[in-house]
Every structure is written in structure tokens, then in C-alpha cells.
Structure 1
Amino acid sequence: MSRSVLVERPGGHRLVTGPVPEPGPGEVRVRVAAAGICMSDREVYDGHRDPGYVRYPVVPGHEWAGTVEAVGPGVAAELLGRATVAEGFRACGTCARCRTGETSLCTGGYAETGFTVPGAFADHVVVPARLLHPLADGADLRAAALLEPAAVVASAVRTARPEPGERIAVVGAGTLGLLAVQLLAATSPAELTVVDPRAERGATARQFGATESGTPEEAKESQGRYDLVVETAGAPTSASAATALARRGGRVVLTGMFAPGATGIDPAALTLGQLSVHGVFGAPSAAWSFAVRAFGSGVLNPAPLITHEFPLERFGEAVALVGGGDPATGKVLLRP
């Protein structure tokens, strides 16, 4: 039998037990080792996610790692027993965007593990084998559960094109921000500043490779200083703060999810400052490969971000911690 956390409707969940799922043609069944809970999962649970991006009832869980336990018809048996992660977007692979490698921009219709199809808050998850990114033998699967947010960050960093010696700022020191610090520190910046109102998070950022940290108020003294600014917070003021930190002709990458009209960005400032502003939602296949390579080489080490681990039975407690405002709460994992 296999257990899973089923969110039947906003605010309502139960632990259900059913037959172990069988992979179909081109699919694999993965025994989940660890699954991370992020704010998107909290939004699903609370009913705050855009209705176009969730289908109730749903088993959440899009940040996960595990071991291939069974393969469906047409899938190589060599995958059996492999540690792995997998892309969340179920890109069609045939539309114009997919054919150019921009799988996170697939026009074939939105489908994503943990939002529209069953995810990894369960003993097992079934995914298309083409989405797997196998890991090295002996990989830390607890840490590997964070490779989904790491892939989003990798997409942002690849989009940003950091060069050695640049002045870089990261707005937000949550999971995305701290993973961004690790990847950006590897590019040898002249400065790597993290902006976050929580002093504890700033200290962690410095341990991860930031050269300095400060609050949003303190950062106002550095407006117009940075060649590159990566925004990861998704707070109402973080997008406008990011553009204000960028120098004239600088680059800004936004990864936060904002409510319509909530960014406060002045279009005239973008034009007069000749800023390049890019948005990132999810991660294409190339960014996943980038993140997995960085993890395998030791450049990316998500393990220190994990602060809490719960069994499936305590999902209610676990999800309540996410977004609760306690600076001591980092990444929360479910461990089936």
C-alpha cells in the first residue's frame, strides 16, 4: 500500500492509503525520500493559488528526491535503483517553445507535478522518465529535495549572466535567495550583498558566500550601485527595491510571485535607467541540468537550509510552519 497527503479543498487534507501506483508507458515510480514544502504548497493548502495553476483534489509536492523503484513499458531498466529528482513542469516537448529548449514556457497547456497531477507528499510519485535528472550514487537525498528551487535559481543566474568582478545584490534571504547566494558566489563577484529584514538570515547569507548583508532600509543607501540584482522575495516592495538598487544600464532578474499591480515599479525609471529586467517562473530543462551539476560538484549545498523534518502524518504541523514568519524556520521537509 502507498500513503499520500490529499488536499481535497482549501484548508482540508487527510492522509489516504491506496494501492501502490503503477507506472504507465514512459513513466517511472519513485520511492520518495524527502519532499520540501514551499510557499506555493502553502498557497495550495490555503486556497490562495491562482485557480489556473491548481486542480483540487490534489496531492501536493513538487520539491522532492527519491529512488526509482519501478519502470513502465519503454523505459530503460538501468534506471531501477537510481537516486533522482525530476522536473515539475509536464512540458509537451513538441510546441515551438519546447523545441527551442524553453520548456518552462510550454504553450501546450499547464501541467505540473503537485499542482495538477499527484505530487510527492506521498510514499511514491509517478513521473515521466523523460523528466528525470539522475543523481550520483550516494547523493544526499534530503538535500537533493531542494534541487527544484535550486533549478529556479539556476534559471535566474543563467538569465542574469553574471561576470567576475561585478557588484551583485540579492533581495530576499529565503530558500531561493540563499541558494542564489551560493551560485552567485561561485562567479567571483567583487561584492555580493544580501538584502533582508531578518538579521539572522543575513548572517546565514554571509556564511553561504555573501560579502555583506543589510535590511531594506540600510540598502537604500546603496541605490544605483549594483551591476546585477536578483530578486527572490516576492514581497510587495521587493521588485521596486531591486530595480532601485541597479545601476544605470544594470540588470534585474525577478523570481518572486507578485499580486497584480503590487510591484510598484516605475516604468519611467526602467526607461531612463536603461535597465534590463527579466522574469523567471519555474525552470527549463537546461537550468535543471545546471543545478544538478552544481549539486554534484559541491558548488551547491542546500543541506544547511533544512531546519525541520516531519512524517506524512504531521503534514498539518509542517505546513503551518511555512510562511509563519519565524526567522528560525528554514526549509521544512516531509520524510515519508
Structure 2
Amino acid sequence: MTIPTREQEPSYSVPESMRAAVLFGPQDMRVVDKPVPEPGFGEVLVKVAMCGTCGTDLKIYDGHFPQTPPYGEFTPGHEWTGTVVALGESVDEFALGDRVCIEAHHGCGRCDNCLVGKYTACLNYGKREKGHRATGMTTNGGFAEYVVHHVSSLYKLPDNVSHKDAVLITTAGTGLYGLDAAGGYIAGQDVAVFGPGPVGLMTVEACEQLGANQVILVGTRESRLQVGRKLGADHTVNVRERDPVEAILELTGGAGVDLAIECSGASNAPQQCVEVTKRGGKILVVAFYKEPVTLDLSAVVRSDITLYTTRGEGGNNVKRAVSLAAQGRLHGEGLVTHEYPLEDITEAFRVMREREGDPLKIVLVP
């Protein structure tokens, strides 16, 4: 189909069909031909440049993620970036040819949570008939050549921000949303970040750029900790070599950190956060866990610690991440360690699961 354009805009010839990864059952992902979706009211069609992978994709691939569309129809992928090639009715915020990054979540816009800006906690989560969308989770996503997205969850990329940067900008939005919810103002404070995965590393860089006094990164892999030091971590603690609680207390003169951020998903990490947070401090949890965790809640109360949790990249924080990237304060491209063509998606998932070659961020290119 040929898309009509407005004056002085480029034109794009969009095919009728595309290649897309479709989940046919647990661990049964196939790249097949699908019709190219057409943007509806308030939506745009994006030609995907690349789509990142994360642990949530493995849960979806294994069949352990709730509210996904039916097998044989659903295309995952929620960390994608690309170029606008068609505009739905009413869309004038973007032009054809704009390079964009995304928020994965688009709330229904009608529930109490959405009305106060908590759209990643939409009360109509998964209900397409109510208007909710979570790309690659409850609706078709970016492991495809083309994808439709709502205009309110798109951000134009500045010229100096690459597509590889953009894949990590969505990730950075997760950490920034958590910081926002926990008070936002961390200048002069001591911060500990548990887990040097993509979310943890982008959060380290954000904390450094936002003026934290010292940023302490805790992890198990030296290669990840080394990346963290390059991104602004003042100190790193390898838990295979030293007890993180002991190390953090030493680095803070026994007082503990003002803010502990749990990004690892390790079952013992929440309790470690409790033990390294100073009286009156804060704990922020953005990780997901394979099983219930145990922590000393009485110690949290006795120390008057405030516990925060956030899901995803809400609060318009991807917009903030785009601005920081444009200013040269966030750098995502260096975290992309592996790149595969879309046709090799199952191999990419295998490498991610088995950690072959120590992948940090794997991207798929249609």
C-alpha cells in the first residue's frame, strides 16, 4: 500500500505483508509472513530498525507471562525503535520519516490510575477493548518489520541519538521512573544499585548524572561491573569476592546509603538492601523475582525506611531519558553486545538464556 503524505513530507511505499516472529506455543517461535498492520485513530505505523531483548521476553517465550494474545497470532518485542512510515487519523505530533523510540505501556486513559499518570499500573491492563496496550506483552510488538503504536507513547529521536542508543532509552526510562517515584532528588546522596544488567547499568549512569555523592554497584560478573565503572559507578562490589553489606557499610562510614535500588531479581537482594539502607532512607525495587522473597520487614519499620516499587518506564520518564541522551548524559549504544537478524530469533534467545559470550543487550534487526 502507498501511504498518502502531507505537503513536503517523504513518501513511503509500505508492503502488504511483512516478516514477523510469532509465538505458536511455549518455546515455539517462528518467523512467518503476516499482514502489515494499519494504524488506527491516534496511532502511527513504524518501520522497525531494531528490537532489544530482555528477561521478560524469555518468560513470554516459555509461556509464563500473563495476558498475552493467543498462540499462533502474537508477536512479542517491547524494546523497539524505528522510523514513522504512516500516520493514523488525527496524528499531527509526528511526521513521516521521524525516528522514534517508545514507551512499552499505553494505559487505557480512562481508569483512576491512568487519570493520575500511573499508566503502567492501568486498572484495565490487558483489556484491549478498554484501550490498554502494552506492546510485545498484551499486543503485537517489535519482533517484526513493522509495528503500530499509540502516538502518546512515542518520542522523536534527536539526530545525535542512534537507534542502538534508543533501544536502551526505554530501559533507562525504567530506572528514571523508579527514581522519580522515590523522590527524584538524589544530588549529594549515597546510592547503591544491585544488579548490573541493562536496567541497573542505565540507572547507575542516571544516578551519576543526577549528582549522587557516590554510586555503589553490586553484582556477580566482573565484566558487568567494569561497564558500570565506565558509566559512572564510584565503587563496585563483586559478591563472589566480598559480602556486599559489609562493603557498602564500610564505604558509607557505617551509616548505610540514602537509597538502595534493587535491579537484580536475586532472591537475597531485597534483604541486603534492608541491611545497607540508613535509618530514614529509601529502598526502590524495580526487579521481578522467580519466587517469593523473604526480608525482615520489622527492620524496615524500626529504621523508618520507605519502600518503593515501580513497574516499567512510566511517568513520562522516557522523555527525560531522551533529553539526557541528547545532552550526552546517557549512553546506551555501548551496552548492545550482540546483534542478530530477526530470522535468528531463537538462536538469540538461546544465547541470552545460556549467557553465551556474556551478552548484555541483544538486539534483533528485521
Report the alpha carbon displacement of residue 327 of structure 1 after superposing the two structures with TM. Answer: 6.9
Q: Please list every run of 5 or more consecutive structure 1 residues that lacks an aligned counterpart in the other structure.
A: none
Please identify, of 296-305 and 130-139, the stretch whose mean Cα deviation from structure 2 is larger.
Answer: 130-139
- 3-state SS of 1:23 partner: coil
Q: Is the 8 A contact 2:177 2:315 kept in 1?
A: no
Deviations 1:76-131 (A, max 9, x none): 28521101112211301122221212221221233411011110000000111222
Summarize the Cα distance change of 1:48–1:207 in structure 2 as closer, same or farther, 3 Å threshold. Answer: same
Q: Report the equivalent of 1:318.
A: 348
Q: Give the whole-Å Cα distance in 1 for the aligned partners of 2:194 and 2:79.
A: 22
Q: Report the equivalent of 2:292.
A: 261
Q: Letter of the aligned partner of 2:68 in structure 1? A: V
Q: Letter of the aligned partner of 1:104 in structure 2? A: T
Q: Report the equivalent of 2:203.
A: 180
Q: Is the aligned partner of 1:270 residue 2:284?
A: no
Of 155, 159, 180, the match for 2:177:
155
TM-score (norm 2): 0.87
Q: Give the whole-Å Cα distance in 2 for the aligned partners of 1:232 and 1:251.
A: 14
Please identify, of 124-133 and 310-319, the stretch whose mean Cα deviation from structure 2 is larger.
Answer: 124-133
Q: Is the aligned partner of 1:208 residue 2:239?
A: no
Deviations 1:166-214 (A, max 9, x none): 1111001010110001100012222211000111211111111011101
- The aligned length equals 333
Report the alpha carbon displacement of residue 291 of structure 1 after superposing the two structures with TM. Answer: 1.4
Q: Is the 8 A contact 1:9 1:56 kept in 2?
A: no
Q: Report the equivalent of 1:249.
A: 280
Q: Please list every run of 5 or more consecutive structure 2 residues that lacks an aligned counterpart in the other structure.
A: 1-16, 127-132, 250-254
1:187-198 alignment runs, 5 A limit: 187-198=210-221
Cα RMSD, aligned residues only:
1.7
Q: Letter of the aligned partner of 1:108 in structure 2? A: N
Q: Report the equivalent of 2:129.
A: none
Q: Report the equivalent of 2:11.
A: none
Report the alpha carbon displacement of residue 243 of structure 1 after superposing the two structures with TM. Answer: 1.7
Q: Report the equivalent of 2:58.
A: 42
Deviations 1:236-283 (A, max 9, x none): 111111221111111110011124522x11110111111111001112
- 3-state SS of 2:258 partner: strand
Please identify, of 37-46 and 105-114, the stretch whose mean Cα deviation from structure 2 is larger.
Answer: 105-114
Q: Is the 8 A contact 1:33 1:142 kept in 2?
A: no
Q: Is the 8 A contact 1:157 1:183 kept in 2?
A: no
- 3-state SS of 2:265 partner: coil
Q: Is the aligned partner of 1:125 residue 2:147?
A: yes
1:77-92 alignment runs, 5 A limit: 78-92=94-108
Identity of aligned residues (%): 30
Summarize the Cα distance change of 1:79–1:195 in structure 2 as closer, same or farther, 3 Å threshold. Answer: same
Q: Give the whole-Å Cα distance in 2 for the aligned partners of 1:327 and 1:176.
A: 19
Q: Is the 8 A contact 2:161 2:325 kept in 1?
A: no
Report the alpha carbon displacement of residue 136 of structure 1 after superposing the two structures with TM. Answer: 1.6
Q: Is the aligned partner of 1:331 residue 2:361?
A: yes
Of 59, 70, 83, the match for 1:56:
70
Q: Give the whole-Å Cα distance in 2 for the aligned partners of 1:260 and 1:77.
A: 43
- 3-state SS of 1:323 partner: helix
Q: Is the 8 A contact 1:194 1:212 kept in 2?
A: yes
TM-score (norm 1): 0.94
Summarize the Cα distance change of 1:78–1:65 in structure 2 as closer, same or farther, 3 Å threshold. Answer: closer
Q: Give the whole-Å Cα distance in 1 for the aligned partners of 2:262 and 2:54.
A: 17
- 3-state SS of 1:145 partner: helix
1:12-51 alignment runs, 5 A limit: 12-49=28-65, 51=66
Q: Give the whole-Å Cα distance in 2 for the aligned partners of 1:108 and 1:102.
A: 12
Q: Is the 8 A contact 2:50 2:364 kept in 1?
A: yes
Q: Is the 8 A contact 1:227 1:246 kept in 2?
A: yes
Q: Report the equivalent of 1:93.
A: 109
The structure whose Rg is larger is 2
Of 222, 231, 237, the match for 1:199:
222
Report the alpha carbon displacement of residue 7 of structure 1 after superposing the two structures with TM. Answer: 0.9
Deviations 1:25-52 (A, max 9, x none): 2211100001000000011111232x3x
Of 104, 116, 133, the match for 2:138:
116
Q: Is the 8 A contact 2:23 2:30 kept in 1?
A: yes
Report the alpha carbon displacement of residue 134 of structure 1 after superposing the two structures with TM. Answer: 1.3
Q: Is the 8 A contact 2:41 2:90 kept in 1?
A: yes
Q: Is the 8 A contact 1:198 1:327 kept in 2?
A: no
Deviations 1:124-181 (A, max 9, x none): 0011122211112353012201222111111012223243221111001010110001
Q: Give the whole-Å Cα distance in 2 for the aligned partners of 1:118 and 1:279.
A: 27
Q: Give the whole-Å Cα distance in 2 for the aligned partners of 1:333 and 1:302.
A: 12
